[in-house]
Structure 1
Amino acid sequence: MDRARRGSRIVAGSAAIGMLLAAPVQAKKKDAAGPVIAMSDSFRAAAASVRAALEAGDLVTAVSRLSTLQPTSDFENYAAAGLRFEAATRRGDIQAQRVALTDMFKTASVPPADAPRLRYMAGLYSFQVGNYDDAVAQLNYARTLGYTGIDATMLMADIQMRRNKPREARPFVDQLLAQYRAAGRPIPAAWYDRAIALGYQSGDWAAVGALYRERLAAYPSTGNWRSAIANYLTAPGMNPQVQLDLYRLQAAVGAMASERDFQAYASLAERSGHNAEAKAIIEAGRAAGKLVATQTVTAGLMKTVTPKAAKEIGALPALARKATAAGDGSAAAKVADEYFSLSQFPKAVEFYRLALAKGGVDAGRVNSRLGVALARSGDLANARTSLAQANGEWANVAGFWAVWVDQQARQSASSTPPPVLARTQAVAGS
């Protein structure tokens, strides 16, 4: 972990002090980088004995010898504090590490190049002992010295969240994710979750959707898909048709996991006038063992939609002819929606394109569903183009489907034989 590595680097810095202890006594020129090294022979010998015990792993002896150090110069005070820090680090004594760092800061011998990192470490140790005020002060000091590491941003976010200050935490969490992205490093799932939780608390559903999509691209498990869709569906005021397409996506990724999932999807499809789709999802739920025939809501729904589904399918050819002759695209969009609900995706593509050509339709909705229909027909490249053109309230659901399209494309690419192998197979089969 970054924080542990930072600590080990400071121990390495303390070891460098040990190298100075073994060097001849000489003062640096005033214009040389770093502290002026000024140690008496007696201090050098006493400090060297501490270093020897530390290197031997004899902490008891090292701590005992530390108490005999009697620094008299600024650099000797710095070196003694560095040795106390190393001993405290080896013991895992955070409080003692923090005290040793404070003693180092009291000197003028802290190398300027090390000061930003040391201030960050002071903030970390204050955080670990629960002194959040000092932790923030040290981290801000480190920032003024130029320390802008991911670990410092993470720590500031942690502090504000532990203080139950989500408004103050959110800018740090956003900055943290941006730093991960800029560094090309994978964002830990836990930080996506924290950012999403802060988005919920602030009611920023656009950010919640974007974060869920990014999280799904990085962690595309079935369970993560279900959690993302189920949670996003709780957004207030969501268009029922957008909700329906999210349930369709949940089914497409195989994330229908409970009676509630199937029941909610089927009920929404029925209310949208897609009786055959409602019937199909109830049958799928029963086949998956998530619904039983005696379940009250879906049993009643099945009784209602079954005769309507047959009429719906029978009326579709005539509706398609009328839509083709209509002056605008609204009838074509409705016919496309019907074909879509029946999983007849190539026909849905045909009529969504007709609807866009004729005009007079919600282009965001039509482009979103055209993109899905293209993807379900196997045309992933054009699916991306159409989904990217979805706007308004449809942009978010189209974005979720775009993540699924990208995952389908990767799966297809990984299952396609390399060109040489493909040609070999073709020759072998000829």
Structure 2
Amino acid sequence: MGIGRFGHAGRGLAIGAALLVAVTALIPAHGAKKIKDKETDVAMADGFRVAASAAKAALSGGDMASANARIAALQPANPLEKYVAASLKFDYAMRRNDPQAIRRALTDILESGATPESQVPYLRYLAGYYSYYLGEQNDAIAQVNYARQMGYKPVESTVLLADAHIKRKKTTEGLAFLEAAVAEQRASGQAVPEAWFDRAIALAYQGGKWADVAKWTQQKLVAYPSAGNWRSGIVNFLAAPGLDPQAQLDLYRLQSATGAIASERDVQAYATLAARSGFEAEAMSVIEAARASGKLTTAEPVSAALLKSISVKAKKDIAALPAQVKKAAAAKDGSPAAAAGDAYFSLGQYPQAVEQYRLALSKGGVDVARVNSRMGVALARSGDLPGAKAALGAATGNWATVANFWGVWVDRQAQRTATLAVPPVQVRPTL
């Protein structure tokens, strides 16, 4: 099932137990002659009561053949009798695990004219659930909306509406309900199931809605920040058409920061893009780190060839950095400073990168969104997490998406820092 919230047997058993209690109350002990339903003020005839009692006893005893025959033979003549007969049909269908028969019995219960008002909202929801389960999405939506209008609207109903709309190819409406369900789940203090995020990401990806892919992926990473989730989330978003190569590079850097570089392909893609961007020393460090961790062997041809081609230039670029910084200080605009900041960033010298990025912003003439995004990362890697959040928050346009991915990582670092800052509890021995 789509979002993975429901199990029809469990939900049905819950309402089945409630109906059995109601039917037990309505079918008295053998010695009683008659009973009245307080809400309908309608009495069961003696003959019907005896036949219903026999059907109920057969069900309770597990004699399904006899129960089926006795239930089929019931001839209800008033609303209360119709309600009891339908409830017995429901019990029989539940014991047989027959969703279609359960759904028909729910219709009979609701149309009996004697259903207690307190049960109707939940029964409408359950009818909607079984319609959903049977693939009748239009009726599912109608029944669940009816239940919600009557006041029965737990988060399960919101999720059901989300999936029912999605199954009807109404993706936009379905995602809106799913977003509402996430908000309701969080408001209740419960964890949002990972499957909800996965469904939303998959739908956004299939529809080419890359802003939504990013939004849902980031929400998933906040709740489930495993290295595997970081890798799949970043790899998915890297497929977005027209993504700036520099933005791609910063996402590979994030993949590395989260420990999500997992394969030769990851290493090759990251190192190749870094080298093409003019950061040969960074490409060298990526390859060397992968070799040290066992993700690459020295015989792997792609990285070996790349390493051979860039090693000389990497050393020259590092040696030229002091002159580049002097040029940036004397320049009329901030472009040389931004380039120097990028060079320091690529080398992992983050305090120096921050200094150059601030100079670049003060001089102007630069891509402000890109500089703020990278300065935010550099501040975070330098230990200034509040400053990092402020800088990342200043990134706009397409760079805001990259900054938001890094923002999830920064928030995670802040949580860890806060946890480490809590002093251990001192336990004093009792005398």
TM-score, structure 2 as length reference: 0.88
Q: 1:373 to 1:166 in 2, by over 3 A?
A: same
1:324–1:332 Cα contact (<8 Å) kept: yes
* Structure 1 match to 2:185: 180
Q: Does 1:21 align with 2:31?
A: no
CA apart distance, 1:215: 0.2
Indicate if the aligned counterparts of 1:332 and 1:354 stay in contact, CA closer than 8 A: yes
Give 1:163 shift: 5.0
Which residue in the other structure is 2:104 paired with? 99
**8 Å contact 2:328–2:340 — kept in the other structure?**
yes
The equivalent position to 1:192 in structure 2, one of 179, 188, 197, is: 197
Task: Output one character per residue of 1:279-316: Cα deviation in whole Å (capped at 9) or x when no partner.
Answer: 11121222233333344432332122111111111111
Q: How far apart are residue 342 of structure 1 and its match?
A: 0.5
Distance 1:209 1:133 in 2: 31
The CA deviation at 1:254 is 1.1
Residue 88 (structure 1) aligned with residue 93 (structure 2): yes
Trace 1:201-350 onto structure 2 (pairs within 5 A): 201-350=206-355
Alpha-carbon distance in 2 for matches of 1:46, 1:294: 83
Q: Aligned pair 1:373/2:383, yes or no?
A: no
- Partner of residue 46, structure 2: 41
Contact in 1 for aligned 2:342/2:353 (Cα 8 Å): yes
Q: Deviations over 1:333-386 (max 9, x none)?
A: 111111110001111122222222333322211111111111111222222222
SS at match of 1:90: helix
**Alpha-carbon distance between aligned partners in 2 of 1:37 and 1:122, rounded to the nearest angstrom:** 25
Distance 1:256 1:138 in 2: 48
Other-structure match for 2:158:
153
What is the aligned partner in structure 2 of residue 427 from structure 1? none
Q: Deviations over 1:212-253 (max 9, x none)?
A: 011011111111110000110010111111111000001111
Q: 1-side partners of 2:40 and 2:353: how far apart?
A: 75
> Are the aligned partners of 2:106 and 2:123 in contact in 1 as well (CA < 8 Å)?
yes
Q: 125-134 vs 362-371, which deviates more? A: 125-134
Structure 2: distance between partners of 1:360 and 1:401: 25
Distance 1:412 1:59, change over 3 A: farther
Query: Which of 3, 7, 19 lines up with 2:12 in the alignment?
Result: 7
Of 15-24 and 186-195, more deviation after overlay is shown by: 15-24
Give the Cα–Cα distance (whole angstroms) in 2 for the partners of residues 35 and 7 of structure 1.
26
Change (3 A) 1:282 1:64: same
Report the alpha carbon displacement of residue 102 of structure 1 after superposing the two structures with TM: 1.9
AA of the residue aligned to 2:389: R
1:69 aligns with 2:74: yes
- Cα distance in structure 2, aligned partners of 1:105 and 1:420: 59
Alpha-carbon RMSD: 2.7
What is the DSSP-based 3-state SS (H/G/I as helix, E as strand, rest coil) of the residue aligned with 1:297?
helix
Question: How many percent identity over aligned positions?
Answer: 53
The 1-side partners of 2:37 and 2:173 are apart by: 47
Indicate conservation of the 8 Å contact 1:36/1:109, yes or no.
Answer: no
Greater shift, 39-48 or 57-66, is seen at 57-66
Separation of aligned partners in 2, 1:341 and 1:313: 11
Moved more, 104-113 or 161-170: 161-170
Q: CA deviation at 1:145?
A: 4.1
In 1, Cα distance between equivalents of 2:19 and 2:358 = 67
Deviations 1:362-418 (A, max 9, x none): 221111111111111122222222212211111111111111112222223334452
Matches within 5 A, 1:123-138: 123-138=128-143
Paired position in structure 1 for 2:84: 79
Counterpart Cα distance in 1 of 2:426 and 2:339 = 45
- In 1, distance between residues paired with 2:55 and 2:420? 62
Report deviation, 1:7.
2.1
Q: Is the 8 A contact 1:63 1:87 kept in 2?
A: yes
Runs of 5+ in structure 1 lacking a partner? 29-33, 425-430
